[in-house]
Amino acid sequence: MNKDDINNIRWSIKPERESIPGLILLSKELGEALNRMRNDINSFGLRKYYERLESIEEDYRLMKDFIKRGFDDPKREEVYNSLLKRLYHLHCDVMITRRKQNTSGFNYYSPFNVATMPLDDIRQRLESFVQDTALLSLDPSATNSEKKKAIYAEHHELTTALFYHLMTDTHWNEETQKFYQELLLSPTIDSMDAQLLVGALLLALLLAFDARKFATLLYLYQYATDPQVKQRALVGWALTLPKVEITLYPNLAEQLHKTVSSQAVQRELLELQYQIVYCINAEKAMQEINRDILPTMMRGQNIVMGTQTDEQKLQDILNPDAEERAMEELEKSYTRMMDMQQKGVDVYFGGFSQMKRFPFFNRASNWFVPYYPEHPELKPLEGLDEARLEQNIFAHSSFCNSDKYSLELAMAMIANQIPAELKNAINANGIEIQGDMDVDKSNPAYIRRMYLQDLYRFFFLNNMKEEFVNPFRGGGIVMRGLFFGNQLLAQVGLSSQFVTFGKFLYKRGLWQLLQLFTSIYELDTTLTSNEWLYFRAVAAMQTGKYGEAKRHFAELMNRLPEDDKVAHGYVETCIRSHDFAQAEQVLERLQGKGNISPEQELFLAKGYARTGKTEKAIELLFKLNYEHPDNMEVKRHLALTQLQEGRAETAIDLLNSIVYNNNNESDARDILYLAAAHWLANNTQKAIELFVNFLKKTGEKPNETRSGIDEILHLLDSMTEKYNRSAIDIRILTDIVADEMEANNSPNINND
């Protein structure tokens, strides 16, 4: 992969061209970008950055002077790009500093000044914690317990400070990058510390892209042996993939290319994208759970617990099979919920979302720290065996880390209110929360799912959520969450997985995401398969982009002239856009093959009627009415077509069967059609009665009655000549109906 490949990517998401990032990354206008940068530093009062700015300005001045004097510098483009890179780093650092000034949540005041602490001291302190806790396990005395609290408290203070530092750190140099790569892979530090700091790098990259931080996540993913660290690193770099920024870092693109060249990595990335899609649709899943699953589970729980009402007990006597069916429904609901959970659906978000208001969650770091019972901000559970409780609750259920903290914090609040008998049962291992006990919690997919759930809660519920791009909502989906839409991945060899992902979205009817995903690669000449074009066509149709859908389906019909699936798709698009002219020939072909749906035949019949082919329309409508006698829409159009042909009495019979049917499938328009049919058939009294009925149903106001009737009747202009009716006849009927409304003392008049 060369620099031209990167520069030729047609990015769907670009910075504003007039912004400093736009000037640097898109137009590469160094001079103007320098001027804008100086203005920003002045306006923000960040004088500490003057020296770096002046250094870039001076180097650029020397470069210009060298060229001005007529010297040829073969490395001038390389030097120019290096100046752009330095200025980009300066811009990002200024923006981060600015955020720290304006947002209290980005600052953490600690006795550990990790920003100035030597890197070796950081390593030594993290390693000492592992050694100290190992020694603690050898001494279970009460004195040791106090020592343990002090050790954990000091360590918590350090790691929290380190998290905030990394989250808001400026651009790394090579030394810092190498240090953290080695540190986070070291077996001599605690895995939970490494996991926490990897989370900090994710947030840092969402605030400002730093090639060295990104490369660190790539490195950790490639070489970490700890699955927790490895999967957090994967999620981190997938959600922070560079876009236009990559033009400044061609070496990073090469590193990315090497990483994703593995089939195993591509499969893992595909699985991760699936999981993120489930997160994106978490709200829809919650609605389904609350509407369809939880009510059934609650009813079933009453049976299991023996808490049935008297009415339910009576029903058991009258209907002895009811309990068995209820248990079957309970089992189905439970299985359905577990299946949703295993696929990656966040089934606990709704229940735990209200439990994130504890002060504990005011710190960003606490959303990313793996659960451990020694966390200094957890309160003791009065009268409860914490180890037993944790074993019973957390060992048998798939709660993400922040939900574990939520549950323990909530229980701490009510611990003193729990009856002694219940406490004894809990402490005696008498109570367990049953869940997905058989799940392999070391499985990479499971680890990612739990981490994604923690992230989902952070981006939606934390008090700093507006400061970050949310990868699970709105524009953040385009920018981050739908990372398969990053064109860089196509350039580094991942396009082979795009059709598979498209199929995933298609099967689940996720049309907005499918349309977004396929449109991103609209100009990608490598994605030309029939299946890919079909996804594009269907997605465009389902999202109302009918013109685009027709173009794609037309192209597919040229490629696959005998494919009925394609033909059906084209016809469906025409139906939705009311374009009979384009669909007629295809519909007739499908009809001839006997591969046409009733809906399509009805559309064909309506098209015939509109284009004057009424006999063909009537023939087809009679056939449909015979085959589908309960289809009121078919009857309605058959009646209107008969009316159009001068067969008012036949139309009246059909409309009567709609208006007066026992299934109540008619609406006000059917009364209108019946009224018109009676009028055209010279049944004037009945017509007037029905017109008044129609106007009352539609709630016509008195001052609108005459104009409303007049407008309605003029819709029949195409038929009036056939029935020897004139414009004067319409006017007279309008007045008669209006008079009748007034004579009947219409409620519309009283309410005026």
* Both tokens assigned to 187: 């077996």
Residue-level pLDDT at 305? 42
Residue-level pLDDT at 317? 52
Q: Give which of 246, 258, 260 is closest to 3, Cα–Cα.
A: 246
pLDDT-based confidence at residue 152 (cuts at 50, 70, 90): very high
pLDDT-based confidence at residue 662 (cuts at 50, 70, 90): low
DSSP assignment letter at 291: I
Residue-level pLDDT at 252? 94
Angle (nearest 5°) at CA 200 between 195 and 204: 150
Dihedral of CA atoms 472, 477, 479, 482 in degrees, nearest 10, equals 110
User: In angstroms, rounded to a whole number, what is the distance separating the alpha carbons of residues 102 and 97?
Assistant: 9
When pLDDT is averaged across residues 612-632 and rounded to a whole number, the result is 87
For the chain, give the mean pLDDT.
85
Coil vs helix vs strand at 308: coil
pLDDT-based confidence at residue 330 (cuts at 50, 70, 90): low
Coil vs helix vs strand at 492: coil
Model confidence at 158: pLDDT above 60:
yes
When pLDDT is averaged across residues 308-336 and rounded to a whole number, the result is 56
Model confidence at 710: pLDDT above 70:
no
Q: How would you label 583-612 residue by residue, b for 16+ Cβ within 10 Å and e otherwise?
A: bbebbebbeeeeebeeebbbbbbbbbbeee
* Both tokens assigned to 688: 């007037």
* CB 552 within 8 Å of CB 533: yes
User: Which residue stretches of 594-726 are H helix?
Assistant: 598-610, 614-627, 632-644, 648-659, 668-680, 684-698, 702-714, 717-720
Residue-level pLDDT at 321? 60
User: Which residue stretches of 74-141 are H helix?
Assistant: 76-102, 119-136
Residue-level pLDDT at 312? 54
Side-chain-side CA neighbours of residue 57 (13 Å):
13
- Using CA atoms, how far residue 220 sits from 177, 180, 230, in Å, is 11, 10, 6
DSSP assignment letter at 118: -
Residue-level pLDDT at 588? 86
Q: Which of 62-76, 208-222, 386-400, 455-469 has the lowest mean pLDDT?
A: 386-400
| Highest mean pLDDT: which range of 136-140, 317-321, 746-750 | 136-140
Q: Which of 245-249, 388-392, 420-424 has the lowest mean pLDDT?
A: 388-392
Share of the chain above pLDDT 90, in %: 48
Residue-level pLDDT at 293? 57
Dihedral of CA atoms 691, 695, 698, 701 in degrees, nearest 10, equals 160
User: In angstroms, rounded to a whole number, what is the distance separating the alpha carbons of residues 144 and 138?
Assistant: 9
When pLDDT is averaged across residues 638-652 and rounded to a whole number, the result is 89
Share of the chain above pLDDT 70, in %: 82
Residue-level pLDDT at 225? 96
Q: Which of 375-379, 512-516, 743-747 has the lowest mean pLDDT?
A: 743-747
User: In angstroms, rounded to a whole number, what is the distance separating the alpha carbons of residues 18 and 689?
Assistant: 68
DSSP assignment letter at 380: P
Q: Which of 24-28, 31-35, 61-65, 734-738 has the lowest mean pLDDT?
A: 734-738
Please indicate whether residue 284 or residue 270 has the higher confidence score (pLDDT): 270
User: In angstroms, rounded to a whole number, what is the distance separating the alpha carbons of residues 127 and 186?
Assistant: 9
When pLDDT is averaged across residues 322-327 and rounded to a whole number, the result is 56
Taking only Cα atoms into account, the Rg of the chain, rounded to an integer number of angstroms, comes to 35
Residue 211, burial from CB neighbour count under 10 angstroms (0-12, 13-18, 19+): buried
Residue-level pLDDT at 432? 54
Q: Which of 387-396, 464-473, 652-661, 699-708 has the lowest mean pLDDT?
A: 699-708
